[in-house]
C-alpha cells in the first residue's frame, strides 16, 4: 500500500511541476508578446502619417504640383482592397476619397461620365479595359487616361460616357472576360478600348508560361487546400499564418532582416521571379496569346456592332532620356528588362502589321525621345504621361467613330 501511495504522490508532484513549468512558460510568452505588441504599436503611433503610408512614388519628379501627392498616396494605400469576382478573379472594393473614388461595382469613377449624362445628346458609350496603368495608379480621378480622353473628345465636339474597367494586375484575357460579362447583360457599348502589354509580359516572366493571370500559383494552391484530403495542410497553413502574426515573430523577423540574415516577407524583389523556359519562345507565346484575344474581341465587335481599338503600352525601358528619379526606378527592375525588351520587339514586328483582325497600335515608343519626367515607377505614368496617351487615343476615336 505504501509503495502505491508513494507512486501516487510522485505522479501528483510531477504533474504539479509540469503545470508550474507550463504556467510560467505561458506567462512569460504572454508577457513578451504583450511587450513586443505594445512596442510595435508605439513605434507605429510615433510614425508620421506620411511614414505609415510611405510610398517611394511620392518623390517622383514627374509631379509638377506636389501639394496633393502625399495625401493621394495615403488614399491609394487605403483603397487597394480587392474582393472576389467570378470569372475575372478580383475587383476592387468600394472606396470614397478626395482623389480616388471606386463605385459599388468595383470600377473607378470617371468625372466626365457625369458630364456626358447631363448633355442633351446621346453620348458615345466607351468601355476601356486595362490594368493599373489604365485604372490610374499615380493619378487623381480627373487625370486618369479615361478621364482625360473624355475631356479631349469633348473638346473635339464629341460627348462621351466612358467606363473605366481597368483593374490592377489584369492581363488581357481577364479584360476579355470582363467584356463578355457586360455583353451577356446586353450592356453593349459603341466603342471598346484595350490598353495592354505590361501585365501580359510580366505575368509570363513571373510564371514561365504565357496567358494566365498574375500569381496563378497562389490560386492553385488555395484551391488544393480546400480538398478534403488536404485539410491537414489547411490547418498547418492557418497555424503558420497565426504564428507569423505574433508580435514576437514580427519583431525577430525585422531584427534578422536588418542584420541581413533573412529576407523579410513581402520584400521579395523581381529578381526572384525567373522564367523556366527559353525567353524567346516565351515572348513569342505572349504575343500569340494576345493576338488571339485581339481576334476574339474583333469577332465580338462584328457580332454586336461596336468598334474596338487596341493599344500596346510604353514602359520605362523604351524611354531613352531618363531623369535621376526615373533612372532609379529603372535600376529596381533591371532583372525583367531583357525579357520585356524581347517581348516588346516581337510586338513591334508582328502586331498591327497583318490582317485587320490583329491590328494593334503600338505606343511603346511614344516617350522614347521625351526628356521631361513622366514615370512614377517603371510602368505607371504621372498625369502628364496619361495626357499624352489620351491625346493619341482621342485622335483615333474621333477618326473611327466620328463626331456624335
392/361 Cα distance (integer angstroms): 10
pLDDT of 258: 62
The answer on 87 and 20 residing in a single domain is no
Q: How confident is the model at residue 244 (pLDDT cuts 50, 70, 90)?
A: low
Give the per-residue pLDDT at 339: 97
Domain of 126 in residue numbering reads as: 56-217+272-401
CB atoms within 10 A of CB 192: 25
Q: Which of 396, 380, 403 is nearest to 138 (CA)?
A: 380
178-182, 216-220, 234-238, 246-250: range with highest mean pLDDT: 178-182
- pLDDT, tens only, 365-388: 999 999 999 999 999 999 999 999
CA dist 211 and 283 (Å) reads 11
Domain contains 51: no
pLDDT at 190 over 70: yes
Where does the pLDDT of residue 221 fall: very low under 50, low under 70, confident under 90, or very high at 90 and above? confident
> Same structural domain for residues 290 and 336?
yes
> 17 with 120, same domain?
no
Per residue in 293-315, pLDDT tens? 999 999 999 999 999 999 999 99
Cα four-point dihedral sign 348, 353, 354, 357: positive
Domain assignment present for 23? yes
What pLDDT digit, counting tens, does each position of 79-127 carry? 999 999 999 999 999 999 999 999 999 999 998 655 545 556 789 999 9
Mean pLDDT across the chain: 86
Contact 61, 373 (CB under 8 A): yes
Q: What is the CATH number of the domain that holds 86?
A: 3.40.50.1110
On whether both 123 and 211 belong to a single domain, the answer is yes
The pLDDT of residue 6 is: 63
Same domain, 18 and 108: no
In this predicted structure, what is the pLDDT of residue 22? 81
Helix, strand or coil, per DSSP, at residue 329 = helix
What is the reported pLDDT for 10? 73
Which of 308, 277, 290 has its CA nearest to residue 206?
A: 277
How many domains are there within the chain? 3
191 occurs within a structural domain: yes
pTM over 0.75: yes
Amino acid at each position: 500500500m505504501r509503495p502505491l501511495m508513494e507512486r501516487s504522490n510522485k505522479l501528483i508532484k510531477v504533474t504539479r511541476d509540469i503545470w508550474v513549468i507550463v504556467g510560467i512558460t505561458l506567462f512569460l510568452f504572454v508577457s513578451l508578446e504583450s511587450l513586443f505588441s505594445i512596442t510595435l504599436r508605439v513605434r507605429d503611433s510615433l510614425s508620421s502619417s506620411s511614414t505609415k503610408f510611405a510610398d517611394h512614388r511620392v518623390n517622383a519628379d514627374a509631379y509638377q504640383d506636389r501639394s496633393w501627392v502625399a495625401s493621394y498616396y495615403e488614399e491609394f494605400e487605403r483603397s487597394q482592397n480587392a474582393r472576389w469576382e467570378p470569372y475575372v478573379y478580383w475587383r476592387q472594393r468600394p472606396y470614397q476619397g478626395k482623389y480616388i473614388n471606386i463605385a459599388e461595382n468595383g470600377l473607378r469613377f470617371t468625372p466626365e461620365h457625369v458630364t456626358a449624362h447631363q448633355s442633351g445628346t446621346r453620348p458615345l458609350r466607351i468601355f476601356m479595359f486595362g490594368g493599373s496603368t489604365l485604372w490610374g495608379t499615380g493619378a487623381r480621378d480627373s487625370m486618369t487616361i479615361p478621364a482625360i480622353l473624355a475631356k479631349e473628345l469633348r473638346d473635339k465636339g464629341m460627348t462621351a460616357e466612358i467606363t473605366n474597367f481597368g483593374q490592377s494586375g489584369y492581363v488581357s484575357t481577364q479584360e476579355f472576360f470582363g467584356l463578355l460579362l457586360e455583353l451577356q447583360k446586353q450592356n453593349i457599348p459603341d466603342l471598346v478600348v484595350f490598353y495592354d502589354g505590361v501585365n501580359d509580359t510580366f505575368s509570363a516572366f513571373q510564371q514561365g508560361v504565357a496567358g494566365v493571370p498574375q500569381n496563378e500559383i497562389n490560386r492553385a494552391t488555395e484551391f488544393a487546400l480546400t480538398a478534403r484530403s488536404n485539410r491537414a495542410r489547411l490547418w498547418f497553413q492557418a497555424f503558420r499564418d497565426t504564428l507569423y502574426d505574433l508580435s514576437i515573430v514580427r519583431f525577430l523577423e525585422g531584427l534578422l532582416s536588418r542584420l541581413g540574415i533573412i529576407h523579410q516577407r513581402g520584400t521579395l524583389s523581381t529578381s526572384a521571379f525567373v522564367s523556366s523556359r527559353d525567353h524567346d519562345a516565351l515572348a513569342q507565346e505572349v504575343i500569340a496569346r494576345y493576338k488571339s484575344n485581339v481576334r476574339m474581341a474583333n469577332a465580338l465587335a462584328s457580332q454586336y456592332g461596336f468598334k474596338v481599338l487596341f493599344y500596346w503600352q510604353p514602359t520605362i525601358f523604351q524611354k531613352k532620356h531618363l531623369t535621376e528619379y526615373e533612372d532609379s526606378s529603372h535600376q529596381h527592375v533591371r532583372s525583367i528588362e531583357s525579357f520585356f525588351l524581347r517581348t516588346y520587339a516581337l510586338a513591334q514586328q508582328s502586331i498591327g502589321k497583318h490582317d485587320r483582325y490583329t491590328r494593334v497600335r503600338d505606343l511603346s515608343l511614344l516617350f522614347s525621345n521625351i526628356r521631361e519626367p513622366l514615370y512614377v515607377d517603371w510602368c505607371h505614368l504621372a498625369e502628364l504621361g496619361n495626357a499624352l496617351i489620351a491625346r493619341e487615343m482621342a485622335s483615333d476615336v474621333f477618326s473611327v467613330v466620328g463626331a456624335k
